[in-house]
Structure 1
Amino acid sequence: MRFSLFKYIKEMLETLIEAAEYITRSGNKEIIEQLLLDSNMILNRVENVLYENKESIMNPIIVDEIKNCNKQVSMILSCLYEESKYSKILSEYLINLKELPNSYKENILIKYHVVFFAELGQKWDSMNSVYQAFMKREDCEVKVVLTPIFRSVQSNGKVETDVIYEDYLTPMGIDFIPYEQYDIAKDLPDMAFISNPYESVTLPQFWPENISKYTKLVYIPYYTGLLINSDSIKAHCGLPIAKYAWRILAQSYEIKDMHREYSPKRGENVIVTGLPKWDYLFDTKNFPLSLTSNWDSKLKNKKVFLWNSHYDVTSSTSTIFEYGKLIVDFFKNKKDIALIWRPHPMTDSIFKLYLSQYEGYWNELKDTVINSENMILDTNKSYQMAFNSSDALLSDWSSIIPQYLLTRKPILLLKKPNVTDRIIDDSEMLISLQLLEQTDQWSGIEKFISNIKNGVDESKENRDEIIKKDLSSADGRIGEKVCSLLLKELQNELFGNM
């Protein structure tokens, strides 16, 4: 039986108890008669619902108990004006009626209906372990709805839109519903999960405000927060999701404290669980992926470096202009090292729509990598193969760094040259990236590559400290814990903390 229907029946049983208790106190026979007739109607309705959901009945005794109460109501009606019989049957009825909610809870199987709204394939890792945990439960029915993401920009008086709507779920064996075929107002799931908090990039039907009208909305962040500043406060606490989410998963208590201070619900809807996306790394380690022939031929018998670049060239953290060509030219045709370049998944759209003046540079880098003998442009939806195949990471300031930290492999944080101002203060850090090995010079990149080739890891202890301090909940089971916790919260709404 669907949770929502189960809840409805439970509320009707509680209404019956309230009516019976009122009857025992009332002397108005006309009101009593009407209440008893209403009780008959409700019990008949409950009996019909149980019949319609007979596959959910674990013990048919609950049906007999409903029928018995219904019979007693009819008997009370028949002797309404025979005080001795009336009082005795009414007393027995009230006793039996008060036992019904517990019997109902114990003998009816609840089926929880949940839906995941999935969009970019690169962000599915944020939901995957929660989805898998719900799929393993016999008391849950799970749906996935694939939704589009789009970006629009006005250029020369015309609005250009880049729409991303790709089926990355089928290759993973995940069935999904196209967004045009899903109506949440008809489906009425018990919970809905989203990882996209930005209304500007999706359709109105998938905005938090509109989803929350029909179900309990759960927000799973698609990225690991790195610091607390005005931008991150706005992203976490100033968007509609902070108001409309029933529950928001948080990576740490610092995030919850941020919500307590700045969000409209003052952190009441935030639960600290760690991020389900951290589970993905444990899947990566436990279930290594086989390389494609192209990858194998380019990477075999080489030290492999993963380069992660960001598209925001106007910021103080993106270094694709400063080091991009240097990195590609350095690796080109090397025999003992190889490069996997994994640019931010939105880079192509951003350069196409917003930074078209830099498209030539971007395309030249891509072509050089694609046509090389030892470099790969990684456009896979998942970063699993890149993480598995690489020996170390070169990265701009990015939320991918905490993910890579969990591989326990070396990391070099890239910084723009000649940027004298500190980007952040240590006290603002959510992940202590200041402890990472980092450089703002090309010579530092060369040194790091040389060290890795020679088996030298200068910052292992520092990385271990970051994991212990900031990623301690990453144990590969966050999705399972989230699933159990959210279902328990639903159950507590019905039964308290029993």
Structure 2
Amino acid sequence: MRKAHKKLLLEIFDSLHEAHREIKKLMTRGSHEEALALMAQCQDAAVDIGTTIDDLEGDGTSAVKYLEKYCEALYQVHEGIIADMTGNKAFSFLEEKLNNAEKSLKNDIKVKLEILFMPYKSSMWDSLESIWREASADPDCDAYVVPIPYYDRNPDHSFGDFHYEGREFPKDVPVIHYENYDLEERRPDIIYIHNPYDGENLVTSVDPRFYSGELKKHTDMLVYVPYFVWKPFDPQNAEEVKTRIPFCTPPSVRNLDRVVTLTDYMRDLHVKAFISRFGGDLLTRKEAEKKFIVAGSPKIDKMLSLTAENTGVPEEWLKLTENKKVVFYNTSLSGLLNSPEQYLSKLQMVINFFKERSDCVLLWRPHPLMESTIHSMTPALMNGYMNIKNRFIADQSGIFDDTPDTLKAIYLSDMIYGDISSVCTQFEQLGLPVLYQDISGNDRSALEEWIEASPKKHTERPGADYISNGAKIHRMIKSQVIGG
């Protein structure tokens, strides 16, 4: 039974207890006709509860059998009033029967949660996937995946091209079209999202129908799981902490019931940022302490689960990289926007460097919003970027990865080079070599030394006792919803 249904039925039980107290008063002062009329209403309410339970749980539940005994008790009290039964005796008798039915509803009928996952980009599904898998396997939950549409932003920040990526999710993920899931009617117990920016992202925007304020109208537990993994940093470094603060309080943060963080000190940073932005009063502090939780990242779970089979690495990639080191070239939006023209020069330099080497292969995977960002923020550079990209693809000396997710690239790569991003943090979490590029200088020598010193990877798969971050998140949120 859904939590909302159970809550509603228990509220009717509360009304019945109140009615019993009123019946007792009416009988004590001799208002028998009014007491009888109120008992008739109690009987109707009990029948409605029983019908609802039958509809939701099927016939034969203990709760309905106890409700039937309660209805018999109402009849006996009805007859007792005629025979001068006292109000106290009637009250005790009805309460005993009603309590049995109420306890059975609470204890014998389990709550079944409806959990809704609302990703927008298929390439970011790994930030939610292990939670969904855990919820799908939980007999106490019904889990649904409803990808939501989004728009690119034009240079004037108006909505541009419309995108819906529901067809790009893994085949074993059953997807429901957003038009076929009625949020208002279904009112899921939990909603998970990985885009917290509402209308304030200058590159893309999810459809406004799915901004956090709209989602919050239809659930009591809206959870944000970051689509990125933060690079570890020194919490004593004031400058570095300062750069992280904006990510701690995204536009949707007041609408979010929970925000998942990676470590204790990252949670502490989120709490401090929230209090700094919204005030230090007691209510704000309590909200912050409750809102931010530590449970790791599902993206790490995904990396640990990768195989050649489940990633579907193309055969031509395997042939090109055979007996060679594979370097994941990670190019980010921040790197581009900080120094656009210099960045394009760096791209060409790196491509030329790897083209000269026979011992390794460059696997270039730009940020999935790279072209949208150039179009929106630096449109004058679009031709230059596209020329570099198209020449690299035509040359066939490396791999250009524009597949829906990072999984193939992560599985195939031995190391990662490029801009700071959550993908680099994922490599660090697995103990794989990471080197950050210097946009403003020539890091050729450092790159050569790093490649020479870095071996091909050998990643151990987790053992049977491994508890995934997705499992931790699911169990924590489920417990809080049921317990709350």
TM interval, shorter chain, is 0.7 to 0.9
What SS is found at the alignment partner of 2:368?
A: coil
Q: Distance in 2 between matches of 1:145 and 1:374?
A: 39
Matched, 1:337 2:360: yes
CA shift digits 1:376-416 (9 cap, x unpaired): 01112221211111111102111211111233211112233
Aligned residues: 450
What SS is found at the alignment partner of 2:432?
A: coil
Match of 1:479 among 460, 467, 470: 470
Matched, 1:447 2:449: yes
Q: Are residues 84 and 218 of structure 1, via their aligned partners in 2, closer, same or farther at CA, if it must alter by over 3 Å?
A: same
Alignment-derived partner of residue 466 in structure 1:
none
Q: Are residues 139 and 169 of structure 1, via their aligned partners in 2, closer, same or farther at CA, if it must alter by over 3 Å?
A: farther
What SS is found at the alignment partner of 1:141?
A: strand
Offset of residue 369 of structure 1? 2.3
Q: Contact between 1:217 and 1:247, CA under 8 Å: does it hold in 2?
A: yes
What SS is found at the alignment partner of 1:193?
A: strand
CA shift digits 1:98-151 (9 cap, x unpaired): 233321123224322121112111111111011111111222222211212222
Alignment-derived partner of residue 370 in structure 2:
347
Alignment-derived partner of residue 181 in structure 1:
180
1:99-498 equivalent positions in 2, closer than 5 A? 99-154=100-155, 161-200=160-199, 201-215=205-219, 216-226=221-231, 229-230=241-242, 232-239=244-251, 241-263=252-274, 264=278, 265-284=287-306, 289-312=311-334, 313-315=336-338, 320-321=343-344, 323-332=346-355, 334-417=357-440, 441-452=443-454, 455=455, 477-493=468-484
Offset of residue 95 of structure 1? 1.9
Q: Contact between 2:328 and 2:363, CA under 8 Å: does it hold in 1?
A: yes
Amino acid at match of 2:470: G
Alignment-derived partner of residue 425 in structure 1:
none
Q: Contact between 2:308 and 2:411, CA under 8 Å: does it hold in 1?
A: no
What SS is found at the alignment partner of 1:199?
A: coil
Q: Distance in 2 between matches of 1:372 and 1:407?
A: 32
CA shift digits 1:253-312 (9 cap, x unpaired): 333323433435323222221222221112126976353122122111211111101133
Q: Are residues 254 and 318 of structure 1, via their aligned partners in 2, closer, same or farther at CA, if it must alter by over 3 Å?
A: farther
Q: Contact between 1:332 and 1:372, CA under 8 Å: does it hold in 2?
A: no
Q: Distance in 1 between matches of 2:386 and 2:452?
A: 28
Q: Distance in 1 between matches of 2:118 and 2:456?
A: 44
Q: Contact between 1:149 and 1:163, CA under 8 Å: does it hold in 2?
A: yes
Q: Contact between 1:2 and 1:111, CA under 8 Å: does it hold in 2?
A: yes
Q: Distance in 1 between matches of 2:340 and 2:379?
A: 20
What SS is found at the alignment partner of 1:218?
A: strand
Amino acid at match of 1:223: F
Offset of residue 81 of structure 1? 5.5
What SS is found at the alignment partner of 1:192?
A: strand
Q: Are residues 143 and 190 of structure 1, via their aligned partners in 2, closer, same or farther at CA, if it must alter by over 3 Å?
A: same
Offset of residue 338 of structure 1? 0.7
What SS is found at the alignment partner of 2:327?
A: strand
Structure 1's unaligned 5+ residue stretches are: 419-439, 461-473, 494-498
Alignment-derived partner of residue 433 in structure 1:
none
What SS is found at the alignment partner of 2:337?
A: coil
Q: Are residues 124 and 482 of structure 1, via their aligned partners in 2, closer, same or farther at CA, if it must alter by over 3 Å?
A: same
Q: Contact between 1:129 and 1:480, CA under 8 Å: does it hold in 2?
A: yes
Amino acid at match of 1:272: V
Offset of residue 342 of structure 1? 0.8
Q: Are residues 22 and 383 of structure 1, via their aligned partners in 2, closer, same or farther at CA, if it must alter by over 3 Å?
A: same
What CA RMSD, in Å, does the superposition of the two structures yield over aligned residues? Answer: 2.9
Q: Distance in 1 between matches of 2:418 and 2:390?
A: 21
Structure 2's unaligned 5+ residue stretches are: 200-204, 234-239, 279-286, 459-464
Amino acid at match of 2:297: L
CA shift digits 1:446-486 (9 cap, x unpaired): 2212223xx499xx9xxxxxxxxxxxxx9651111221222
Q: Distance in 2 between matches of 1:249 and 1:160?
A: 29
Q: Distance in 2 between matches of 1:393 and 1:110?
A: 45
Q: Contact between 2:63 and 2:108, CA under 8 Å: does it hold in 1?
A: yes
Q: Contact between 1:302 and 1:338, CA under 8 Å: does it hold in 2?
A: yes
Deviates more, 1:278-287 or 1:125-134: 278-287
What SS is found at the alignment partner of 2:395?
A: coil
TM-score, reference length from structure 1:
0.82
